[in-house]
């Protein structure tokens, strides 16, 4: 209050204090309970979304079978993979790195990355050297992504991106960055709130002043003014519930597409 940074939540708190001032303790307490519950649900929803993002980042394998030279494939950490390494992807295992197929044919479930519901068939590139020189020109029939699930065939995949720069890692970083950014609409709302809240408080003061010139009891006038405060701050109750529903549903769909849980069709409708 001293800094003059009033938010819409301030209207709800003033209304609760006003209810207590005229002896409406139960109504003031109900406002605060609903207000606190809404913010608690919003915090829970954001925490669940963060856990979904972490679960998505965890679907990529931690190790890979790499074939270097004529030696037999050896298991190494994905962080040790280098561009141009050849990794062996066994049937029904996850692809450990972004790259392109050079040996073998199979179908790959790419839903964690692309959202495709049907596995995509993969075939070897025609020229390994040309593909490695221009990874961006590799066709979708030969390109594979870290975290996707190989089908029944074995594949040899040439790595084109390091573990920290693969598509899955970049998706996770983009979502985390988006979570911390402020949208233009949110910035406008914050600027608007600086004028909206004082305006509502001024309106309440006018309502109280008008009541002084009528025969209406002051308690009734004051109660009506507090009702205006509550009506002016619906986001304190509605927005957290909307955020909980939207973020929770998006998190469930994302986890399901990534193979981290049952599909949405197996869950009860919200």
Alpha-carbon span 29 to 19, nearest angstrom: 9
Domains in the chain, CATH or no CATH each: 8-57+172-261 (no CATH), 63-162 (2.70.150.10)
**Residue pLDDT tens, the chain, 270 long:** 777 777 777 888 888 888 888 888 888 888 888 888 877 877 787 777 777 777 777 778 889 999 887 778 899 999 999 999 999 999 999 999 999 999 999 999 988 788 788 999 999 999 999 999 998 899 999 999 998 999 999 999 999 998 888 888 887 777 777 666 767 877 787 788 788 888 888 998 998 888 778 878 888 888 888 888 878 776 655 565 566 666 666 666 665 655 554 444 433 334
Q: C-alpha distances in angstroms, 145 versus 61, 77, 120, 266?
A: 12, 17, 12, 27
pTM, two decimal places: 0.57
């Amino acid at each position: 209050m001293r800094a003059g940074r009033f938010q819409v939540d301030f209207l709800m708190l003033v209304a609760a204090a006003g209810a207590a001032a005229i002896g409406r303790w139960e109504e003031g307490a109900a406002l605060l309970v609903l207000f606190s519950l809404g913010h608690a649900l919003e915090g829970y929803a954001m925490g669940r979304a963060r856990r979904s993002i972490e679960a998505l980042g965890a679907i990529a394998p931690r190790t890979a079978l790499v074939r270097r030279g004529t030696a037999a494939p050896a298991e190494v950490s994905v962080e040790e993979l280098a561009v141009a390494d050849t990794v062996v992807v066994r049937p029904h295992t996850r692809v450990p790195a972004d790259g392109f197929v050079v040996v073998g044919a199979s179908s790959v479930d790419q839903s964690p990355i692309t959202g495709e519901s049907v596995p995509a068939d993969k075939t070897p590139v025609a020229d390994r050297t040309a593909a490695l020189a221009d990874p961006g020109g590799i066709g979708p029939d030969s390109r594979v992504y870290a975290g996707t699930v190989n089908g029944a065939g074995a594949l040899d995949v040439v790595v084109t991106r390091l573990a920290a720069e693969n598509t899955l890692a970049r998706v996770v970083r983009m979502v985390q960055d988006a979570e911390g950014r402020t949208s233009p609409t949110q910035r406008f709302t914050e600027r608007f709130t600086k004028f909206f809240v004082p305006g509502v408080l001024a309106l309440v003061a006018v309502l109280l002043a008008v009541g002084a010139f009528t025969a209406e009891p002051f308690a009734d006038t004051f109660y009506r003014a507090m009702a205006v405060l509550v009506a002016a701050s619906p986001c304190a109750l509605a927005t957290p519930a909307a955020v909980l529903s939207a973020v929770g549903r998006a998190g469930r769909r994302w986890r399901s597409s990534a193979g981290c849980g049952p599909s949405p069709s197996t869950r009860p409708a919200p």
